[in-house]
Amino acid sequence: MKIDDIDAFVAVIRCQSISHAAASLDLTQPAITRRVQNFEQALGIELFDRNTKPLKPTPMGLQVYQKCLSILREMDSLRELVASDTPPSGLLRLGVPQTIGDVVLLDALKHLRGQFPDLRAQVVTGWGSHLIGKLENGELDAAAALFPAGKIFPEGIIGESIGKMELVVVCAKDRLPKKPVKLADCYEQGFVLNPDGCGFRAGLQRTLADQGLSLKVNLETFGTELQLGLVADGMGLGLVPRPLLERSAHRDLLAVMPVKDFRPVMDLWLMYPRFLGNLQSPVATFGQLVADALREARKAS
């Protein structure tokens, strides 16, 4: 019975796909299949119902999966014990949403290179839930993302709140109401938002639903600066972090809509696997740099 075979078995269940498991472990599909078969032969049982699509574990397979998670956690702990005293080197895989990447990444990566010269940072962007999935699959070493306070993370993923970011509803300056309004008074103007999957959009939709209102999306597109340009052209309302509004080239054409009953604040979370080995210090430094950059952005706004 080999640890590599257990890794492959766990990856297939987590990914619910041999092809996705192969991608997460940087292996070929035949290699994943062979390792799972080796593990089944070592145990003397079949762990998957191969008549189902997607591939599903048998009841015994689910029990074995839970035991395997415990084994892998102990192996991670052992590796961390051995590796924690060695200088950080190699690849540090980080994830951030594009929304905050423009604010925090440049200085953070510059300082990381200076403090850990033997470490090479690789950054991917995506929604917060997407980044959590990559952490669970072992594709990232750490990520920073915006979620509401009190967010519960999956087992094996640590989440630390390292700052807060205010979101504001924005409109074209010539459409600014003369007095504060409620969300029900302005929602019919429609919004220019990120595509479905964005936490900002989901929070707005929940708030509207709680009031018996529906979300009207005039246009959905990636990129905060593009969204703000469209809002400035009168395409609807926007929902953006205040620091990004203050940095926008369209700032003089925009205004913060004074909405009395919708003042969202998101927590910035640093997320990472329970066992990091010698990457603990770089990940902690990354979190501190991101938090500092966010504070500076808030001061500037």
Per-residue confidence (pLDDT) for residue 214, from 0 to 100? 93
Q: Three-state secondary structure along the chain?
A: CCHHHHHHHHHHHHHCCHHHHHHHHCCCHHHHHHHHHHHHHHHCCCCEECCCCCCEECHHHHHHHHHHHHHHHHHHHHHHHHHCCCCCCEEEEEEECHHHHHHHHHHHHHHHHHHCCCEEEEEEECCHHHHHHHHHCCCCCEEEEEECCCCCCCCCEEEEEEEEEEEEEEEEHHHCCCCCECHHHHHHHCEEECCCCCHHHHHHHHHHHHCCCCCCEEEECCCHHHHHHHHHCCCCEEEEEHHHHHHCCCHHHEEECCECCCCCEEEEEEEEECCCHHHHHHHHHHHHHHHHHHHHHHHHC
Percentage of the residues of the chain whose pLDDT score is greater than 70: 94
Per-residue confidence (pLDDT) for residue 119, from 0 to 100? 86
Domain count, the chain: 2
Are both 216 and 254 inside the same structural domain? yes
Are both 44 and 91 inside the same structural domain? no
Per-residue confidence (pLDDT) for residue 272, from 0 to 100? 92
Are both 47 and 32 inside the same structural domain? yes
Residue 73 pLDDT > 60: yes
pLDDT tens digits along 244-258: 888 889 999 999 999
Name 136's Cβ contacts closer than 8 Å, sequence gap at least 6.
14, 154, 156, 157
Are both 154 and 274 inside the same structural domain? yes
Per-residue confidence (pLDDT) for residue 28, from 0 to 100? 92
Residue 263 pLDDT > 90: no
Per-residue confidence (pLDDT) for residue 81, from 0 to 100? 58
Residue 130 pLDDT > 70: yes
Are both 71 and 100 inside the same structural domain? no
* Domain end residue (candidates: 62, 83, 104): 83
Are both 128 and 254 inside the same structural domain? yes
pLDDT tens digits along 151-200: 888 888 999 998 888 889 999 999 999 899 999 999 999 999 988 878 88
Determine the structural domain holding residue 16 and report its residue range: 3-83
Per-residue confidence (pLDDT) for residue 120, from 0 to 100? 87
Per-residue confidence (pLDDT) for residue 297, from 0 to 100? 65
* Domain end residue (candidates: 83, 110, 140): 83
Are both 171 and 195 inside the same structural domain? yes
Are both 293 and 247 inside the same structural domain? yes
Are both 219 and 153 inside the same structural domain? yes
Q: Which residues pair with 147 in a beta bridge?
A: 267
Are both 79 and 97 inside the same structural domain? no
Per-residue confidence (pLDDT) for residue 233, from 0 to 100? 94
* Domain end residue (candidates: 27, 57, 83): 83
Are both 219 and 165 inside the same structural domain? yes
CATH number reported for the structural domain that contains residue 151 in this entry: 3.40.190.290
Per-residue confidence (pLDDT) for residue 219, from 0 to 100? 93
- Measured between alpha carbons, how far is 120 from 62 in angstroms, rounded to an integer? 37
CATH number reported for the structural domain that contains residue 50 in this entry: 1.10.10.10
Are both 177 and 143 inside the same structural domain? yes
Worst-scoring range by mean pLDDT, 7-21, 87-101, 118-132, 135-149? Answer: 87-101
